[in-house]
Amino acid sequence: MTQVSQTELQEKLAYFGQSPTDVGVIKQIVRRPAVDQRETITEGVLTLEEGLVGDSWRARGNRKTPDGSALLDAQLTLMNARVIEVIAGHQDQWPLAGDQFFVDFDLSEERLPAGTVLKIGDALIEVTAEPHLGCRKFSDRFGKDATLFVNSTPGKALRARGVNAKVIRGGEVRVNDSISVYSEG
């Protein structure tokens, strides 16, 4: 895989900023049945207890919790499809990022502050304050420049690495389903 430079990513900021703000679309769904395993699926189920059913979120736990249990505020991760498209290239490489949902939707902090409720397929999820940043694995897979970009000031504002969320109402989700800010009424 060819690694993209910070300069190339900076030049794509306008493209990333063209992501839909009202109604976006799910481009890819990925389950992680075990550490470093990926399963691309066309439909799935979200539950309050498991997040994406069949994903190892709960079993993996989290080093940030006192007892090592799963961190609810990182139950799901969503990444902008335009960003991963530029970073990883072909859609077959997107699952390496480790996110469950790749969406063509504006995930910026300005647009979706923590607490924002999103309708994704038939489910409702809430954006959490838990930061989602590029880590060693991300750097190993996509390069130092990609990691520096997603962790930069403009990258963080854009949430180029993605956003953490938790399920607040379960439901079915499918590739090509819509994603939007939920408003009752």
Distance CA 159, CA 110 (A): 10
Q: What pLDDT, in 10s, does the model give residues 107-116? A: 999 999 999 9
Give the model's pLDDT for residue 82. Answer: 97
Residue-wise pLDDT for 120-153, tens only, equals 999 999 999 998 887 888 999 999 999 999 999 9
Which band of pLDDT confidence, cut at 50, 70 and 90, is reported for residue 35? confident
Q: Could you tell me which residues are beta bridge partners of residue 17?
A: none
CATH of domain 6-181: 2.40.33.20
SS3 (DSSP) at 142: helix
At position 176, the amino acid (one-letter code) is N
Q: What is the pLDDT of residues 36-83, one digit of tens each?
A: 899 999 999 999 999 999 999 988 888 888 888 888 999 999 999 999
Q: Kindly list the domain boundaries of the chain, sorted by start residue.
A: 6-181
CA–CA separation, 18 and 152 (whole Å): 19
Contact (Cβ atoms closer than 8 angstroms) between residue 109 and residue 160: no
pTM of the model: 0.94
Mean pLDDT of 159-175: 97
Cα end-to-end distance, the chain, whole Å? 46
**Per the structure block, which two tokens stand in for 36?**
């470093």
CA dist 99 and 90 (Å) reads 16
